[in-house]
Structure 1
Amino acid sequence: MALAMIYGATGYTGSLASERAKVAGVDIILAGRQSTKLEALAANLQLPWRAFGLDDPLTIQTSLRDVSVVLNCAGPFADTAMPLAEACIEKGIHYLDVSAELSTYLAIEELDQKAVSAHVTLLPGSGGIVAMLGCLASKAAARIDDSVSIDIAVHVSGTLSNGSVASANSAVIVDCMRLSEGRLVKQDADETMSFDFGDGRGPTSCLPVTLPDLFTIWKTTGVANIRTYVNVSGDSFLAGEKDSGALGPPEEERERNPYHAAVIVHGSKGEEVHGELHTINGYTFTALASIEAVRLVLAGKVLPGLQTPATAFGADFVDRIDHTHVRLTRVANEPCVGNA
């Protein structure tokens, strides 16, 4: 029977994904570095577990025995993505993760040809903002024959997990970046842009930020000019309640803080398509989307080499996630076919 491994299962996102996999009936084994935490989680979920570090390639490969798919939830991904992805290629195992670190996508891209030769899928960003924005951008760009640029923003609500903060700190890029003619170039960090997220707030000022979507949306759509933005509300960079010891926001907080995204796609003849995405909290979305990606890969929905959720499963992948809706319109308010 095909078996998936969740590495980093005891972290905040990893535990949410593990719980979702259990509910969805996906056969998984929990994994990570700390045996004590793994044993406790495994006992709670009644699942098998396996403890190993990522310092020795042979140890990793041995620990991946009997596994068909690895979902890496262990950040910072600058430390974990490459050792696991390389071991997966060596063993013919498909690699997925939930990274939001641009540097790891650029590093994994270097493994693309090896993965193609090994018939292995490399799917970083299988859940979370990368899946949200990639599918939204792909749907919008498909409405224009010759898309030349994409501006896209995400509204992040609620607190971030400790792991997200650690990953963000480890992946700090000094310069704010945008994609220009397929090249990463500097962008003025003070050059804000207004987006209407369709959440009742009207045009909302967003800050430019360097997201992995600069790379993944280009790979998905072929559009070589991309700018990424963020708008935050609440104590987005405080993990959990102060002094609570929580790894991340509790369920009731996630339920109060849905995410939204907005995109503007420009065509060569001056056309514009605007899009909105409305969904559940980003952490809940990540657990649902990443396990859905695992399920599809286990079922044989695979393409070799480096993929994005939209290239692997189509732009409608986002529609598989509960309470997620996309709406597309033209600037002239002529409706486009979308997922209202």
Structure 2
Amino acid sequence: MAKHVLILGGSGRIGSSVAADLLAHTQADIVITGRTISTGINVRDRLGARVTFLNLDLGDRENLRSAISGSDLVIHCAGPFHYRDATVLQTCIESGVNYVDISDHSSFTRKAMDYAEMATNAGVTAIVNTGIFPGISNSMVLQDVEQLDEADRIHLSYVVAGSGGAGITVMRTTFLGLQKPFQAWIDGQWQTIKPYSDRELVEFPAPYGRTGVYWFDMPETFTLPNSFPVKTVITKFGTIPDFYNYLTWSVAHWWHPWMLKQKPVIEFLARVSHFMTDVTDHISGIGVAIRSEVTGQKDGQPARSCSTLVHENTAIAAACGTGSVAQLLLSGQLHKPGVWVVEQALPTPLFKQTLAERGIQVQRQAS
């Protein structure tokens, strides 16, 4: 009997990509949700007969609970997660339904973690931050940590070309991440960092090469120090073309913090950026590259393990991360009641297996 998957926000760019991934790698029947009926119907028709559309607002608690209770797995793709509470997760736990999300902000991750004991007691497996970064990036770090006897420092960096093939929600997420300083684990203590600061040139695989990246508030910034006994965790993000980096830097450093906390301002910035990337995507592409570097000790000597990944479409890569976790939950290969981030729940052999099935390779270097 086919499993039933509910994808909240499934009519959006990333949500529909997750649906496409599950159609390719599972036999599940899928319900996608959204607030715009015409968009939802178009996406449903494009994805095929195993997909149905449900017009649903997450604020409608009664219909949300009804949709969740009829599912074997819920995948939450309805961002921006800066604005979300943990209602969906709580409802899944109360309904005994496993949960996955594509959340990408530390504030939401912290809210979700508060439900760990509740999920454990209910026998529900909930895995957050399952996309590309966070998500696949976390598993790359885990793989590098496992190569060493002792890890001291994690440097995780990402670069996205243009819009990354994602919708305007991702643009909102970028500017929401500039709103305030955040805490990072440096030299064994939490230190305050200004977003989009301390530009660093990092060598990514072709076609990106040497690219500028900046401090950015990501869930990995606090989850990796909780997962691994390291002294330093650095998370940096950049875009190409490089002039987008300078525009984002100017917003982070020259605009008054009060302005960045106003929803109309964030909406304006997101829409202008989306318009600009509609033009430049044809030149830059919409791909992504991730680089994980872990340094520490191996056999009593200084050692380093570095992993890289490149994909031509950021939205599809994110869907591969989420789809992999969902596939393993549906098949029963992954079962770990509680609320977890990816590096705490997904063993490296399963990570490598599901990525190989999707034709994605992680390149690794050790020294």
Q: Which string of whole-angstrom CA distances, capped at 9 and with x for unpartnered residues, describes residues 160-185 of structure 1?
A: 43110123334444115422477643
**Following the alignment from structure 1 to structure 2, what is the Cα–Cα distance between the partners of residues 133 and 12?**
20
CA 94–227 in structure 1, closer or farther in 2 if over 3 Å, else same: same
Q: Which string of whole-angstrom CA distances, capped at 9 and with x for unpartnered residues, describes residues 292-330 of structure 1?
A: 221111112121112223332223415533343333334
- Residue identity in the other structure for 2:342: P
**TM-score, with structure 2 as normaliser:** 0.78
1:5 matched residue in structure 2? 6
Matched, 1:68 2:67: no
1:178 matched residue in structure 2? 184
Q: Which among 152, 157, 162 is matched to residue 156 of structure 2?
A: 152
Q: Which among 267, 270, 281 is matched to residue 296 of structure 2?
A: 267
Q: Which string of whole-angstrom CA distances, capped at 9 and with x for unpartnered residues, describes residues 254-313 of structure 1?
A: 9x4432222332326772314131231321111222122211111121211122233322
**Following the alignment from structure 2 to structure 1, what is the Cα–Cα distance between the partners of residues 207 and 6?**
41
CA 263–19 in structure 1, closer or farther in 2 if over 3 Å, else same: closer
Q: Which among 19, 26, 29 is matched to residue 27 of structure 1?
A: 29
**Following the alignment from structure 1 to structure 2, what is the Cα–Cα distance between the partners of residues 78 and 127?**
16
SS in structure 1 at match of 2:75: strand
1:320 matched residue in structure 2? 354
Q: CA RMSD in A?
A: 3.0
CA 76–231 in structure 1, closer or farther in 2 if over 3 Å, else same: closer
**Following the alignment from structure 2 to structure 1, what is the Cα–Cα distance between the partners of residues 42 and 67?**
20
* 1:151 Cα offset (Å): 1.4
Q: Which among 199, 210, 215 is matched to residue 217 of structure 2?
A: 210
CA 239–18 in structure 1, closer or farther in 2 if over 3 Å, else same: farther
CA 201–258 in structure 1, closer or farther in 2 if over 3 Å, else same: closer
CA 274–112 in structure 1, closer or farther in 2 if over 3 Å, else same: same
Matched, 1:17 2:18: yes
CA 27–276 in structure 1, closer or farther in 2 if over 3 Å, else same: same
* 1:85 Cα offset (Å): 0.8
Between 261-270 and 232-241, the greater mean CA deviation after superposition = 232-241
Q: Which runs of 4+ in 1 moved over 6 A?
A: none
Matched, 1:306 2:307: no
1:137 matched residue in structure 2? 141
2:262 matched residue in structure 1? none
**Following the alignment from structure 1 to structure 2, what is the Cα–Cα distance between the partners of residues 222 and 253?**
42
**Following the alignment from structure 2 to structure 1, what is the Cα–Cα distance between the partners of residues 314 and 134?**
11
**Following the alignment from structure 1 to structure 2, what is the Cα–Cα distance between the partners of residues 311 and 105?**
14
**Following the alignment from structure 2 to structure 1, what is the Cα–Cα distance between the partners of residues 112 and 339?**
8
**Following the alignment from structure 2 to structure 1, what is the Cα–Cα distance between the partners of residues 10 and 321?**
16
**Following the alignment from structure 1 to structure 2, what is the Cα–Cα distance between the partners of residues 203 and 27?**
43
Q: Which string of whole-angstrom CA distances, capped at 9 and with x for unpartnered residues, describes residues 22-48 of structure 1?
A: 333432111233344323332443322
Q: Identity of paired residues, percent? A: 17
CA contact (8 A) 1:138 1:220 kept: no
Matches within 5 A, 1:29-48: 29-44=31-46, 45-46=48-49, 47-48=51-52
* 1:200 Cα offset (Å): 6.9
1:99 matched residue in structure 2? 103
CA contact (8 A) 2:199 2:213 kept: yes
Between 202-211 and 234-243, the greater mean CA deviation after superposition = 234-243
More helix, by proportion: 2
CA 26–63 in structure 1, closer or farther in 2 if over 3 Å, else same: closer
Matched, 1:122 2:126: yes
SS in structure 2 at match of 1:129: coil
2:329 matched residue in structure 1? 297
- Residue identity in the other structure for 2:329: V
- Residue identity in the other structure for 1:169: F
CA 57–311 in structure 1, closer or farther in 2 if over 3 Å, else same: same
* 1:118 Cα offset (Å): 1.0
CA 318–184 in structure 1, closer or farther in 2 if over 3 Å, else same: farther
Where does structure 1 lack aligned partners over 5 or more consecutive residues? 332-340
**TM-score, with structure 1 as normaliser:** 0.83
**Following the alignment from structure 1 to structure 2, what is the Cα–Cα distance between the partners of residues 157 and 143?**
30
**Following the alignment from structure 2 to structure 1, what is the Cα–Cα distance between the partners of residues 16 and 208?**
33
**Following the alignment from structure 2 to structure 1, what is the Cα–Cα distance between the partners of residues 43 and 292?**
39
Where does structure 2 lack aligned partners over 5 or more consecutive residues? 246-269
Q: Which among 173, 183, 204 is matched to residue 197 of structure 1?
A: 204
- Residue identity in the other structure for 2:42: A
